[in-house]
Amino acid sequence: MATLEDATRRQNGGEPITRERVRHLPGELGTWVFILGDMTVFALLFGIFMYYRDKQPALFAHSQLTLHKSFGVINTLLLLTSSLCVVTAVRAVRKGAQRLPTILLGVAVVCGLGFTLNKFLEWGGLLSHHHYPDTNNFYMYFFVLTGIHFFHLLLGMGVLTALIVLSRKPSLSEKEMMFFEGGACFWHMVDLLWIVLFALLYLVH
Amino acid sequence: MNTKSQMLCAWCGPAAIVLFMVGFWFIAGLVPPPSPHDTALQVVAIYHHHTNLKRLGLVVVMMAGAMTAPFVASISTQMKRIEGQYSPLSYTQLGLGMIGVLLFIIPAFMFEAALFRPDRAPSLVLALSDLAWLPFIGAFMPAFFQNLAIAASCFQDTEERVFPRWLGYFNVWVAIAFVPGILINFLHGGPFAWNGVFCFWLPLSVFGVWFFVMFWALRRGILAQAAEAVPAAAL
Amino acid sequence: MAALPGLLRSRITVVWLFLIAATITSLLLGTDNLVSGVKLASALVIVVAFVKVRFVGMYFMEIGNAPVPLRAIFQGYCAVVCTVLVVMLLTSH
């Protein structure tokens, strides 16, 4: 490896620059059939929420005040941090690092567990103040949207666990790397969807 | 080589969907479904309206439901090419898909019962109507595992001899898209009720798309199987 | 572990810091009267959210380095969904 190439690598976070940009599809085709499909379904959910919000603006505004934004912020920060860990783990695996990817993925899982704890604390708080999913439409949307997202988060934790198992192998085959990247992208999707939910449910008023 | 009968069975899928829409939508006029909010008297009024057309349309729906059976069978036949002799996933898909036939027929007969004597006490008609709509829209659980079984076999097909890998991901997405159907049991209105955009229109669209995508994949797999056989036959 | 500092001293970590900052910004937009006009503040919150979404996609999911069709679909998704939600907000009561 020439020194110039090394310097270029370091500048660009490890991706070597060649004359034609070498593009790489993370995961495989099916990964994106799934992820884009799921993102589309969530886009429908976002639109549904905004539509029904406009039918009862006062109710939604009033009920939103009972939410504690700190729960939302903490959840966002946890997921963003976990995503940083996951993408760094992917890059570490590409570099052939042995223990680091496993540790990073472990941190990501801990963030996910933190999100789960936070979620139960938040939901528990709302329920103990008699704000149930069938109290009014705002709470119905709140619990359903965060519930569907939480279901995806649990799936994501399962995927991260599978990635942890994979990361312990000394080296990954091409197919295994494809699954590794695809699984990482699923986790980033969970993060991405929460970013929008946080904005719509907690902040938009 | 029985690719002809496989192809025939595969074509039953799109045919079933078309027949279903003709029966349910055009003849019976049950799309969109009546609202869970409707009172017993409102439901009775709906079933008094074009009663015979509704009775006929539902019979067509039941035939369409039964016609999904050969389609399901042809999916398992191709899945077996991946799994070989010991094929739990193919049997899972086959079994759950056949149960799916009943999930057309039983709710449809609940409707027929409601329509059979429209002058019954309104609360009875409402009860029969609920008995029809809830499972018709909400019984996704067999389909959930059916889709996952197909997905698992796609991921086993490492050389993409039978199905493309992305079909596995597609089936996982379809399975997950059905899960919000849980909500229809809790809500009487809005997007998550049995007539709502998220729990009726979305799953109905996904269901229809699944049939056509699977048909495309089946056709491709069956033709590949026929092509594989040709050099052997030439010997 | 030796690889960690090198891996973190990269564009990805800068993106993460930006995302944290954007989260705080949205929080302020959603609470304090940073911007006059509740609707404008809320519209900005949605826009910032989708800027974050785009960054998560382009840098964390590595769509930025992916084939053009995927990049186009993803960026199109961000643009369309963001626009629709902002329009729904601005035309609401």
Percent of chain B with pLDDT over 90: 91
| pTM for the structure as a whole | 0.91
- A168 falls within a domain: yes
Q: Tell me, yes or no, whether A88 lies in a domain.
A: yes
Contact B93, B78 (CB under 8 A): no
Confidence label for A203 from pLDDT (cuts 50, 70 and 90): very high
Report the number of secondary-structure helices (H) and strands (E) in chain B: 8, 0
Domain membership of residue A10 (yes or no) is no
In contact, B103 and B153? CB cutoff 8 Å: no
Query: Are A191 and C60 in contact, with CB atoms under 8 Å apart?
Result: yes
Q: What is the CA angle C48-A187-A132, rounded to 5? A: 75
Tokens standing for residue B193: 């009720």
CB pairs under 8 A between A and C: 140
- Does the pLDDT at position C2 exceed 80? no
Phi, psi of B161 (to 5 degrees): -70, -35
| Residue A5 confidence (pLDDT) above 60 | no
Q: What is the pLDDT of residue C10?
A: 85
Closest by Cα among A102, A91, A123 to A12:
A91
Instruction: Flag if A140 and B192 touch (Cβ within 8 Å).
Output: yes
The mean pLDDT of A78-103, rounded to a whole number, is: 94
Residues B127-143 have a mean pLDDT of 96
Distant-in-sequence, close-in-space partners of C45: CB < 8 Å, separation ≥ 6: A199, A203, A204, C26, C29, C30
Here the CATH number for the domain that contains residue A167 is 1.20.120.80
Q: Is A18 exposed, middle or buried (0-12, 13-18, 19+ CB in 10 A)?
A: exposed
A192 vs C contacts (CB less than 8 Å): 53, 56-57
Q: Is A67 helix (H, G, I), strand (E, B) or coil?
A: coil
Q: Mean pLDDT over residues A188-205, rounded?
A: 96
Burial class for A104, CB neighbours closer than 10 Å (0-12, 13-18, 19+): buried
**Residue B3: HSE in the Cβ half-sphere, 13 Å Cα cutoff:** 15
Q: What pLDDT does residue B173 have?
A: 97
Average pLDDT over residues B89-108: 97
Range 61-80 of C in CB contact (< 8 A) with A: 61-63, 65-68, 70, 73-74, 77
Residue that wins the pLDDT comparison between C65 and A4: C65
CA contacts within 13 A on the Cβ side of B193? 16
Contacts of A111 (CB under 8 A, 6+ apart): A78, A79, A81, A82, A85
Structural domain range at position B136 = 3-224
pLDDT interval class at B234 (50, 70, 90): low
pLDDT for C9 beyond 50: yes
Domain that holds residue C73: 3-90
* Residues B131-150, mean pLDDT to the nearest whole number: 96
Q: How many helices (H) and strands (E) does chain A have?
A: 7, 0
- Give the mean pLDDT of chain A: 91
CA angle A142, A145, A148 (to 5 degrees): 140
Tokens found for residue B18: 């078309």
Is B232 inside any structural domain?
no
How many domains, chain C?
Answer: 1
- Do the domain assignments include residue B120? yes
Q: Is A5 among the domain residues?
A: no
CA atoms within 13 A on the CB side of C16: 21
Which residue range forms the structural domain that includes residue A70?
27-203
Which residues in chain B are contacts of A179 at CB distance < 8 A? none
> What pLDDT was estimated at residue A14?
56
Measured CA to CA, the distance from residue B204 to residue B200 in angstroms comes to: 6
* Domain count within chain A: 1
Q: Please tell me the total count of domains within chain B.
A: 1
Token reading at C70: 């995927």
At A67, the pLDDT band (50, 70, 90 cuts) reads very high
Residue B233 clears pLDDT 70, i.e. is over it: no
Q: Which residues 161-180 on chain B approach chain A with CB closer than 8 angstroms? A: 164-170, 172-173, 176-177, 179-180
Please name the residue that has the structure tokens 């799936």: A155
Residue B190 φ then ψ, to 5°? 85, -175
Q: How far is B115 from chain A (nearest CA, A)?
A: 32
A57 and C CB contact within 8 Å: yes
The two three-digit tokens of residue B136, written as one number = 């018709």
**What would the two tokens of residue A26 be?**
């993370």
Question: What local confidence, expressed as pLDDT, does residue A2 receive?
Answer: 44
**What is the reported pLDDT for A171?**
87
* Helix/strand/coil percentages in chain B, nearest 5: 80, 0, 20
